[in-house]
Chains A and B, each alone.
Chain A
Amino acid sequence: MNLEYFFSLFLGGMTRGSIYALIALGYTMVYGIIKLINFAHGEIYMIGAFTALIIGGALSLTSMNPVAIFIIAAIVAIVYSAAYGYTIEKIAYKPLRNAPRLSALISAIGVSIFLQNYVLLSQTSDFLPFPNLLPEFGFLKPVENFLSTTQFLILLSTAVVMILLTILIKFTKMGKAMRATAQDQQMAQLVGINVNRVISMTFIIGSATAALGGVLITTHIGQINFYIGFIAGIKAFVAAVLGGIGSIPGAVLGSFVLGLTESFGTGYISSDYEDAFAFIILILILIFKPSGLLGRKENEKV
């Protein structure tokens, strides 16, 4: 077995997994709190990528330092995606909180269609290349065969986001409020938690991480169009369910399992079935663990 090939597949899988994780977090957090499959979440990721491209593209026409441009573009993209997430929740989901769950799902699908076409019409249907803003990191030189700068950046930022998120959820007041709301919305309200704020916050955080994913993948792959959100959204959703939807560590684990399966599957078996590996592993895991890897088994009280 070629060890170097194995490593490059492994790191490729981890990179994929990181991106999935950044998107899946939003899915799982929203699901945990309002039990909604937020179909438009992939679109938020796409909007993040596009905003970064627009800002980065515009600024790169000036004589600014490319790294500074990248950072500004990333921050603006994250802020904008968060704002989109917040606004969408207020308009399209909040009025449906007491409606049948499927209605909210269809509303989310509507938002998804709307956002895709909004970007298509306001921008373009073509693939746009992302300006190359990042220099190659010197210290990665010895391993550049299987770990590129952007890959390194993706792994690093995912790790940082995970740590920050864990701290937020475990140790802050907002995190406690989120956990309480996820368990029982009515009860949370009774003990004085502002549920509306918690839900808004969840959308903001989830959208921000998705946008970060969008920015990073754009720099990694190098080009985007208005349609990248759909398939990424579905994959991230698969990852979230794989890990046990509603569980944050589950989403991360599921994303890495998914990323590695895809990477090794395409590398060792066949690249034709790239997407199929994700779904096959999903089905296999759910058959044996019906509530995902880390999902809590729902013990219904009879």
Chain B
Amino acid sequence: MINLKKIRKAILTAVWFMFLTFPLMVMKVNTIENTVQWRWINLAYIGISAFIFSLFWEDLLKRRDNIASKDKKKSINNKISRKLENKKIRNISLFVLILIVVLFPFIMSMYQTSIITTALMYVVLGLGLNIVVGFGGLLHLGYAAFYAVGAYTYGLLYYHFGLSFWLCLPLGALFSALFGIILGFPILRLRGDYLAIVTLAFGEITKLVLENWNDFSFGPSGIANIPRPMFFGIKLKLAEVTNFTYFIAIGLTILTIIVIKRLESSKIGRAWEAMREDEIACQSMGIDITKAKLTAFSMGAVWAGIMGVLFAAKTTFINPASFTTWESIVILCVVVIGGMGSIPGVIVGALIFILTPEYLRAFSEYRMLIFGLALVIMMIFRPGGIIPKIRKTHQFKVKEVKE
């Protein structure tokens, strides 16, 4: 496996990386105090890691290509999905899952529950964006704007009119969907990356408006003291309300999954996918692409709106800083890492994507570094996402013709 040629290459790689990282890793200049610090030991670390990395890199790539060309039926996903087709196994795993979900907040700490609630919110956000990106094939980089619309719907309606969380939940969805349609209209003609950058622009403009239109949104200082969700009009204690928010998040997640699953296997879901595959053929088959695009935008926006309301209620404070392009990119990462178009994929993607950095807190300052690296490695070795979409199959018996 390891031969001389490879070692030579690894040494060269090590030297290259030592050269590459020299100014940044070894030198540290303080231009205020005019000092230079030399950290030679870093050079050794870089050399050794690059050497090891190079030894295995190409083998790993080769292995990846071999696996890709092999029969896909042997993959783990398929094994799992086939196991789940067995009713008994399916029921048992469902039961265990429900048990864990219900007991979780009572076993784990409030902090843990709060993190899981956040992760669940990203599950819903991911599923919503998945409608636009995964089904519709429209690269959307401004999804956080819809999230903001939801959050500000609750924040402002509470502030001005004292509307409750439960009332704002559907209103947030509605406003967000309308916003999706408004955004959708001017960009119907745009394709691919042009669409991506315009959605990004819309996202940024939304944020800038929220930041600067003080009379409307209270600017960068945002809105504070937004009430947490109430339980049939009863105000709960902090520990209780954390658990309650968790269950709301669970409920909304389930609702999202059901609704999106149904949309996916309906007329409109097929239209979205056809649009992704080939716009011209799609139109020639009688699908109104304008309608398909606008519904994709608005149906995707609905979930961001709902989650925005929940976000405002959970954190009790909102300001524009929570709805940056970076936030949109995080949600997009959830979708792509999980597996575009795949509902279970997006769920797993969100959980991993949001929970990993949380639990990497042990490495505190290194966590984003590791995270960036993980994204790259993940995409190289599983470009289709963690759980790529499995297409639905239909069984037909040779039926007797009725006529």
Report which A residues bind B (CB closer than 8 A): 31, 37, 47, 50-51, 53-55, 57-58, 60-61, 76, 80, 83-84, 87, 91-92, 95-96, 99-100, 102-107, 109-119, 121-124, 128-131, 234, 237-238, 241, 245, 272-273, 275-276, 278-280, 282-283, 286-287, 290-292, 298, 300, 302
Question: In the complex, how many angstroms separate the beta carbon of B363 from the nearest chain A beta carbon?
Answer: 11
Residues of B within 8 Å of A92, CB to CB, are: 376, 380
Is B36 within 8 A of A83, CB to CB?
no
Is B347 positioned at the interface, with any CB of A under 8 Å from its CB? no
Residues of B within 8 Å of A106, CB to CB, are: 332-333, 336-337, 375, 379
Is B104 positioned at the interface, with any CB of A under 8 Å from its CB? no
Bound-complex Cα distance A33 to B100 (A): 50
Is A241 within 8 A of B193, CB to CB?
yes
Q: Which of A55, A115, A118, A280 neighbours the largest number of chain B CB atoms within 10 Å of its CB?
A: A118
Is B7 positioned at the interface, with any CB of A under 8 Å from its CB? no
Residue of B nearest to A87 (CB): B20
B20 touches which of A84, A287, A292 (Cβ 8 Å): A84
Which of chain B's residues 269-297 have a Cβ closer than 8 Å to chain A? Answer: 280
Bound-complex Cα distance A300 to B190 (A): 14
Which among B199-207, B233-241, B301-309 touches the partner chain? B199-207
Is B380 within 8 A of A54, CB to CB?
no
Residues of A within 8 Å of B23, CB to CB, are: 50-51, 54-55, 76, 80
15 contacts between A and B (CB under 8 A): A57-B30, A80-B20, A95-B61, A96-B383, A100-B384, A103-B383, A113-B371, A117-B366, A124-B28, A278-B201, A282-B201, A286-B187, A290-B190, A300-B280, A302-B280
> Given A87-B20, A237-B197, A241-B197: A118 and B369 within 8 A (CB)?
yes
Q: Which of B27, B186, B325 neighbours the largest number of chain A CB atoms within 10 Å of its CB?
A: B27
Residue of A nearest to B330 (CB): A109
Question: In the complex, how many angstroms separate the beta carbon of A96 from the nearest chain B beta carbon?
Answer: 6
B16 touches which of A55, A87, A287, A290 (Cβ 8 Å): A87
Question: In the complex, how many angstroms separate the beta carbon of A123 from the nearest chain B beta carbon?
Answer: 6
Residue of A nearest to B24 (CB): A122
Bound-complex Cα distance A222 to B200 (A): 29
Residues of B within 8 Å of A99, CB to CB, are: 379, 383-384
Is B191 within 8 A of A96, CB to CB?
no
Is B371 within 8 A of A276, CB to CB?
no
Is B27 within 8 A of A286, CB to CB?
no
Which of chain B's residues 320-342 have a Cβ closer than 8 Å to chain A? Answer: 325, 329, 332-333, 336-337, 340
Residues of B within 8 Å of A118, CB to CB, are: 24, 369
Residues of A within 8 Å of B187, CB to CB, are: 286-287
Question: In the complex, how many angstroms separate the beta carbon of A41 from the nearest chain B beta carbon?
Answer: 14
B204 touches which of A109, A275, A286 (Cβ 8 Å): A275
Q: Knowing that A107-B375, A237-B197, A292-B194 are A-B contacts, what are 17 other residue pairs whose CB atoms are under 8 Å apart, sorted by A's residue number?
A: A37-B193, A37-B196, A54-B28, A57-B29, A57-B30, A57-B31, A80-B20, A99-B383, A107-B376, A109-B375, A114-B369, A118-B24, A122-B25, A282-B201, A283-B205, A286-B198, A290-B191
B194-231 contact mask (Cβ, 8 Å, vs A): 1 or 0:
10111011101100110110000000000000000000
Residues of B within 8 Å of A104, CB to CB, are: 379
Residue of B nearest to A31 (CB): B193
Residues of A within 8 Å of B27, CB to CB, are: 54, 58
Residue of A nearest to B68 (CB): A98
Is B19 positioned at the interface, with any CB of A under 8 Å from its CB? yes
Residues of B within 8 Å of A272, CB to CB, are: 211-212
Residues of A within 8 Å of B332, CB to CB, are: 106
Residues of A within 8 Å of B107, CB to CB, are: none
Residue of A nearest to B281 (CB): A302
Is B373 positioned at the interface, with any CB of A under 8 Å from its CB? yes
Which 7 pairs between the two chains have the least Cβ-Cβ distance?
Answer: A110-B375, A114-B372, A113-B372, A99-B383, A279-B201, A57-B29, A103-B383
Is B366 within 8 A of A110, CB to CB?
no
> Given A87-B16, A110-B376, A283-B202: A102 and B191 within 8 A (CB)?
no
Is B2 positioned at the interface, with any CB of A under 8 Å from its CB? no
Residues of A within 8 Å of B30, CB to CB, are: 57, 128
A102 touches which of B32, B139, B189, B202 (Cβ 8 Å): B139
Is B374 positioned at the interface, with any CB of A under 8 Å from its CB? yes
Bound-complex Cα distance A109 to B329 (A): 8
Is B20 within 8 A of A83, CB to CB?
yes
Bound-complex Cα distance A115 to B376 (A): 12
Is B194 within 8 A of A241, CB to CB?
yes
Residue of B nearest to A287 (CB): B186
Is B208 within 8 A of A275, CB to CB?
yes
Is B380 within 8 A of A130, CB to CB?
no
Bound-complex Cα distance A273 to B208 (A): 7
Question: In the complex, how many angstroms separate the beta carbon of B340 from the nearest chain A beta carbon?
Answer: 7
Is A283 within 8 A of B379, CB to CB?
no
Which of chain B's residues 5-49 have a Cβ closer than 8 Å to chain A? Answer: 16-17, 19-21, 23-25, 27-32, 34, 36, 42
